[in-house]
Amino acid sequence: MELLIQIIGYIASVLVAITFYMKTIIPLRMFAIASNIFFIAYGFFSQPKLYPVFILHCILLPLNIIRLIQMKKLIEKVTESSKGDCSMDCLVPYMTKKIYKKGEELFHKGSKAENIYYIHEGEVKLIEIAKIAGTGELIGEMGIFSPFKERTASAVCTRDSEIYSISEDKITQLYYQNPAFGYYLIQLVTKRFVTTYINKEG
């Protein structure tokens, strides 16, 4: 029995080491979950019981599971969004909420682009291109991905609005954590470019 417990401990340690070689977040979380399970068994069945190890991994296990589910849902929702089948509610857990009053400006033309905005409820007018963005739409992504990092239009709320924002740093973090997310985000930006500029000229 003691030999089996030692084997479990070594397996748990190897799984932790493997997580350091993972380049994307989903495989990392899966190996972390496996290591949590083995460490829980190791801590519980050891004699004497290793309660600090047991308790720590009992806490980490649900946290890793939650983060894995969140990332998988994020990828699924963004994939659907790229096909035009759903809203961007999937990004809300990664965003910061703010209430804007009618007439309040989110950003103005020529200012530095640092955030992407998601209109959870409300309406925003992009002044220079005469576009109205409503509930469920993203705005500001063109400035983030442009080489100049500047706003190409001013954005003003036409009524009281609940708007979420996500910083460029967070977008970059999500992009590198999972290439699939980055791929579909690029698809969304490309679609907006085609819709806003190519169709307008045509």
Residues 135 and 122: beta-carbon distance below 8 Å: yes
Closest CA to 127 of 149, 152, 147: 152
Tell me the pairing of strands 155-157 and 105-107: antiparallel
Does the pLDDT of residue 86 top 50, yes or no? Answer: no
User: By the 8 A CB rule, do 113 and 140 touch?
Assistant: yes
Residue 13 tokens read as: 């340690």
* Residue 155: closest CA among 112, 103, 108: 108
The token pair at 59 is 């806490």
Backbone CA torsion sign across 105, 109, 111, 112: positive
What letter does residue 112 receive in the DSSP assignment?
B
Q: How far is the C-alpha of 34 from the C-alpha of 179, rounded, in Å?
A: 23
Give percent of the chain with pLDDT exceeding 90: 43
pLDDT tens for 27-69 read: 899 999 999 999 999 999 998 999 999 999 999 999 999 999 9
Per-residue pLDDT tens for 115-167? 989 899 999 999 988 889 998 888 888 788 778 888 988 999 999 999 999 88
pTM attached to this predicted model: 0.54
User: Crossing angle for the helix pair 51-82 and 179-193, nearest 10 degrees?
Assistant: 30
